[in-house]
Amino acid sequence: MAGASVVQSGNYELEIDTGFLQDAFTLDSATMGVLNNTEFVLDGTTNFASVMDGCNNVMIKRGRQDIGDQFSAGTMSFTMLDTTGVFNPFNEESPYWDATTEQPGLAPMRQVRFARYDTNNVKEYLFKGFIVNFDYNFALGGLDTVTVYCADDFYLLSQTYMAEFNVSEQLTSARVSAVLDLPEVAFPIGQRDISTGTQTLGGSAAFTVDNGTSVQAYLAVINQAEQGRLFMSRDGDLTFQPRLGNTLSSSVADFHDDGTNIPYSGVGISFQADQVCNRASVTIAGSNNPQVADDAGSQALYFIQTQSITDSLLHNNAAALSLANYLLEPEPTARYTSVETAFASLSNAQRDQVAVIDIGQTITIEHTFTTGATTSELAQELAVEGIEHTISVSNGHSIALFTSPTVIVFEFILDDAVYGILDAGNVLG
């Protein structure tokens, strides 16, 4: 590693849009932050400047840890050494100072992005977002540091409020697009990855969106009706995925502890009573007639554990009852809830594979158990719900993936002895 930087073989890039930057400067890692104006880091016509050198840790958190949680803004934080004071918010002599606005280059709401280059030198973004705030630490007799806190575009959507919105009956995906198209939102079309939804939302007066409604909060209610995923991808696209259900077996990464495939350093296992939902109630907006689904057998074993949704955006009671039945989880099941791995233990190919895993993809976790004098292995295919990257000078790069159960089905294959039977486990692709 060069100096106090998280750079490993030069394959990471942390950039900030300094706004005013004309001739970009980069911190020279060989001299721990001496400005070197012979190195230019402008990307085309943008004002992004590299601040990778001098950065000693990066933490990225995206998605959710449990399928019952709502998606919120993804976050990134990082700490940099500022040996020359160029990021001091009061330093008007800094090359990053914008004299026009009298703002430092490192300022709230400036764009920031973090990327990794794979072994073929292909640039893959792991986070795109905005600076929310930063803390500057003046260290008497030591090195000044600055810790920067960032959030993805979900943060912007949470700070954007809608005018009164008269909606029409439409699919969840169409409603998401309609909200993003509103003039007070104007979310870029090029930053959308919206799959077709499965649920229809209501369009009567009861479903009118009140003036002053948070865009992010309303999108979360849309997703509550769909029961899919709504998140910002690692490269900054607002991603909407339909109701979670059967998943074609297509694991993007296999984590094993038996010396094969991708090794891991930790695995979480959950077998909890709070996984159970044996009574679900869903009431649509404007109605006082809740649609209720019960599992009497589960209630006898695990008592009554209820999930309730009021003012659902679903268009009628039949859809509400369908959602209530969907929410039922009558039996707790043991499953792997998370997996962690350190890049230091992986091959270059495995690092490239693991680094770009994103929310909604399927992974396999296999663990070896000792039972008496014998051992057995249990493998589960699971959906990725959340991702955490931790990168530091002392420990390198590690990743934690948080998972949810999924029903794996296989693509129907003609004349195959196993997959050539069209049934619940084999489906048309």
- In single-letter form, the type of residue at position 318 comes to A
CA neighbor of 57 nearest in space, from 117, 12, 17: 12
Sign of the C-alpha dihedral, residues 7, 13, 16, 17? positive
d(CA 282, CA 266): 38
Pairing of strands 111-117, 123-137: antiparallel
Task: Tell me the backbone φ, ψ of residue 56, rounded to 5 degrees.
Answer: -110, -5
DSSP lists the bridge partners of residue 161 as: 214
Q: What is the DSSP string of 276-298?
A: -B-EEEEEETT----EEEE-HHH
Are 336 and 378 in contact by the 8 Å Cβ rule? The answer is no
d(CA 314, CA 413): 36
pLDDT in tens, the chain (429 residues): 233 344 443 599 999 887 643 343 333 433 333 333 333 332 334 578 888 878 899 999 999 998 888 899 999 999 998 888 888 888 888 877 777 778 887 788 889 999 999 999 999 999 999 999 989 988 887 788 999 999 999 999 999 999 999 999 999 999 999 999 999 999 999 999 999 999 999 999 999 999 999 999 999 999 999 999 999 999 999 999 999 877 655 899 999 999 999 999 999 998 877 789 999 999 999 999 999 999 999 999 999 999 999 999 999 999 999 999 999 999 988 899 999 999 999 999 999 999 999 999 999 999 998 877 788 888 999 999 999 999 998 899 999 999 998 876 544 444 544 444 444 444 444
- Please report where in the chains the tokens 């809608």 appear, as a residue: 162
d(CA 292, CA 311): 14
Q: Which pLDDT tens digit goes with each residue over 316-360?
A: 999 999 999 999 999 988 899 999 999 999 999 999 999 999 999
d(CA 113, CA 49): 10
d(CA 410, CA 249): 6
Q: What is the DSSP string of 188-223?
A: -GGGEEEPPPS-EEP-SGGGPBPTTEEHHHHHHHHH
d(CA 3, CA 17): 24
Are 265 and 342 in contact by the 8 Å Cβ rule? The answer is yes
Give the pLDDT confidence score for residue 26 in this predicted structure. 39
d(CA 391, CA 243): 33
The total of other beta-carbon atoms located within 10 Å of residue 371's CB is: 7
Q: Which pLDDT tens digit goes with each residue over 369-394?
A: 887 778 888 899 999 999 999 999 88
